[in-house]
Amino acid sequence: MTPAFAAVMPPFDADRMHAAYAVDVVDSGPRRGTFCRVNMVSSLDGAATLAGRSGGLGDPEDQRLMSVLRSHADVVVVGAGTVRAEGYGGAAVVAEDAAWRAARGRAPQPRFALVSTGLGLGPDHPFFARALERPVVLTSRSAPPDRRAALAGVADVIVAGHDDVDLPSALAELAARGMRSVLSEGGPRLLGALAAADLVDELCVSIGPLVVGGEAGRIVVSGTEAPRDMRFVHAILGERMLFVRSARDAFAPDASVQGVD
Ligand SMILES: NC(=O)c1ccc[n+]([C@@H]2O[C@H](COP(=O)([O-])OP(=O)(O)OC[C@H]3O[C@@H](n4cnc5c(N)ncnc54)[C@H](OP(=O)(O)O)[C@@H]3O)[C@@H](O)[C@H]2O)c1
């Protein structure tokens, strides 16, 4: 397979991006019938944040691509640290992508799933209070029972693992509920845990043309090195940012059918 490289002509071409990021959850491969894509943003020098948040690294095209990627997911999985820092709540996809999904027989909006053991986000947090689809909470047996009970009123609570959330079990539970196409938006510690458990089938990185310096962390944080080989699928140059899609071998689609030329 030859990676495809292309310049995206402004304005943002949503149809082309939907084709370039199509997901096919095949009933084969290492984990039959499930698929986990991760979407992150980075500076040129590998910073995952600018002034403590990812937003300053991106741009409107990156935001628009995020909606496209969410459109291909049944569920968008995020760690509690990201929800706290980035302020999740409300629609996952823009109206055009909601219509794109509805035209394909899917709910207009994917669901959001929160990964948390501490369950410090209460039912009144916008993540729950402003949700358009009933959210999911992925937690573990060590979570505070009163907080778990409070969230059960506003979300489907899935308990997997004892201390940390057992991510392979959590993804299997999502799949058993019909959520087979997973998009995770991090953050770095959740991505580290997903990578350590060998659950990252695709890593999409939006690279902003700036050098941050300082001591910002990387997009993957984990206790030990655990190298995972990926294969480049495409790199698309937008007005300002570079959008790189990579996949592990078993999931790498043939670039020639991706509509990237
Ligand atoms: N560059 C990017 O694309 C990007 C993307 C997302 C976030 N960020 C940035 O990253 C920073 C947050 O980083 P982070 O690493 O703390 O975020 P994170 O991975 O979203 O959150 C970590 C928290 O998620 C929960 N968690 C994650 N994995 C878990 C597991 N296996 N089991 C149980 N709980 C788990 C825990 O929450 P509890 O403490 O509630 O148990 C943990 O404290 C923010 O500054 C944000 O802006 C950058």
DSSP string, 168-226: HHHHHHHHHTT--EEEE---HHHHHHHHHTT--SEEEEEEES----TT---S---SS--
Dihedral, CA of residue 63, residue 68, residue 74 and residue 80, to nearest 10? -10
Q: Please list every protein residue whose CB sits less than 6 Å from any atom of ligand 1.
A: 40-42, 48-49, 52-54, 78-82, 85-86, 115-118, 120, 164-165, 167, 185-190, 193, 219, 221
| Residue with CA at minimum distance from ligand 1 atom 13 | 187
Q: Give the pLDDT score at 152.
A: 98
Q: How many CB atoms lie within 10 A of CB 162?
A: 11
> Which among 82, 167, 182, 199 is the best mutation to test ligand 1's pocket, defined by most ligand atoms within 8 Å of the CB?
82
Residues 6+ apart with CB under 8 A from 230: 203, 246, 247, 248
Q: Give the pLDDT score at 178.
A: 94
pTM over 0.75: yes
Q: Give the pLDDT score at 261.
A: 43
CATH superfamily of 4-10+30-44+54-249: Dihydrofolate Reductase, subunit A (3.40.430.10)
The domain spans of the chain are 4-10+30-44+54-249
Q: Give the pLDDT score at 258.
A: 44
Question: Which residue stretches of the chain have pLDDT < 70?
Answer: 1-7, 9, 26-32, 250-261
Q: Give the pLDDT score at 24.
A: 81
> Which among 42, 57, 63, 189 is the best mutation to test ligand 1's pocket, defined by most ligand atoms within 8 Å of the CB?
189
d(CA 248, CA 192): 16
pLDDT tens digit string along 215-236?
A: 999 999 998 888 889 999 999 9
How remote is the CA of residue 83 from the centroid of ligand 1, in Å? 8
Q: Give the pLDDT score at 2.
A: 52
How remote is the CA of residue 203 from the centroid of ligand 1, in Å? 16
Q: Give the pLDDT score at 35.
A: 93
Name the nearest CA neighbour of 218 among 198, 199, 195, 248: 195
Q: Give the pLDDT score at 1.
A: 46
| Residue with CA at minimum distance from ligand 1 atom 35 | 116
